[in-house]
Amino acid sequence: MSSLHPHKRYLWGRRQSRPLKPNQKDILNKVWPNVLLELPEGLITDPLKMFSLSYTELWLEIGFGGGEHLVAQAIAHADIGFIGCEPYINGVASLACQIHDQQLHNIRIVKDDARLLVAKLPSNSVGRLFVLFPDPWPKKRHHKRRIIQEASVAEFARILKPGGQFNIATDDQDYASWIQNIMEGNSKFELILGNRIRMTDRPTDWPVTRYEQKGIVQGRVPVYLTYTLKSL
Ligand SMILES: C[S@@+](CC[C@H](N)C(=O)[O-])C[C@H]1O[C@@H](n2cnc3c(N)ncnc32)[C@H](O)[C@@H]1O
């Protein structure tokens, strides 16, 4: 991942759907200077120093969509600093509005491809990583666009702290098998919770996301996987 070429296209999802509403624009402009995390040229040496208050640990959510899960976690864990990474500008604006309404200080947003952020994070710096309902890219010729790849998982192993958690969910059964195969191929991770489980068995410290809810209404069955980074 650190070998990402600066001019190559990495993002395939949409950056924006509808134009932002005037009040969303106002709030975005208001909170932006405090929440935007611009990626530096070089490595980020101490990510927790990028928050105005002090926090015990850093948690990261990749592809937060509308940001509802990230906000719920930030409220439930006021001692944790969160980075949310999402290139979809309407999602970023929605999260900015929630940060404003809830007066949250412990979230920073990177509005870009998560792989650019991850490559800049120091090793052993993240306590918990969420990748919830990543785009499944069901067509075989698009599988290379999936965020879960051997190389990205190796990078996740690098940035996570030993004992750190990696939470992944998908409601695409082919992607679930793909994820499990790749995770099993990385000896640094151990599956501690997961499989095709009933809704009532879903992890309780991980609120339902918007995409998850939509899928359940449409009859899709989510798979929830929790891995831990082995302590050597
Ligand atoms: C299917 S949506 C799920 C959103 C949210 N996690 C949920 O469950 O409601 C996947 C999200 O991942 C984001 N995404 C896609 N590629 C990404 C990347 N390379 N880095 C960060 N986010 C990405 C998309 O913009 C989209 O918002």
DSSP of 102-161: HT--SEEEE-S-HHHHHHHSPTT-EEEEEEES-----SGGGGGG-S--HHHHHHHHHHEE
Q: How far is the CA of 77 from the centre of ligand 1 (A)?
A: 22
* Alpha carbon nearest to ligand 1 atom 10, residue: 134
* Half-sphere exposure of residue 9: CA atoms within 13 angstroms, side-chain side: 6
pLDDT 10s digits, 72-99:
999 999 999 999 999 998 999 999 999 9
pLDDT 10s digits, 158-214:
999 999 999 999 999 999 999 999 999 999 999 988 766 666 678 888 899 999 999
Nearest atom in ligand 1 to 114's CA = 20
Task: Give the strand order in the sheet containing 57-62.
Answer: 107-110, 80-85, 57-62, 126-132, 160-170, 223-229, 189-195
All structural domains of the chain, each given as residue ranges with its CATH number in brackets, are 14-122 (3.40.50.150), 124-232 (3.40.50.150)
Q: How far is the CA of 160 from the centre of ligand 1 (A)?
A: 20
Q: How far is the CA of 232 from the centre of ligand 1 (A)?
A: 31
Q: Where does the pLDDT of residue 1 fall: very low under 50, low under 70, confident under 90, or very high at 90 and above?
A: very low
- Give the mean pLDDT of the chain: 90
Ligand 1 binding pocket, CB closer than 6 Å: 11, 13, 62-65, 85-88, 91, 113-115, 132-135, 147, 209-212
| pLDDT for position 63 | 97
Residue 131, pLDDT above cutoff 70: yes
Instruction: Give the active site residues.
Output: 135
* Alpha carbon nearest to ligand 1 atom 12, residue: 63
Q: Where does the pLDDT of residue 228 fall: very low under 50, low under 70, confident under 90, or very high at 90 and above?
A: very high
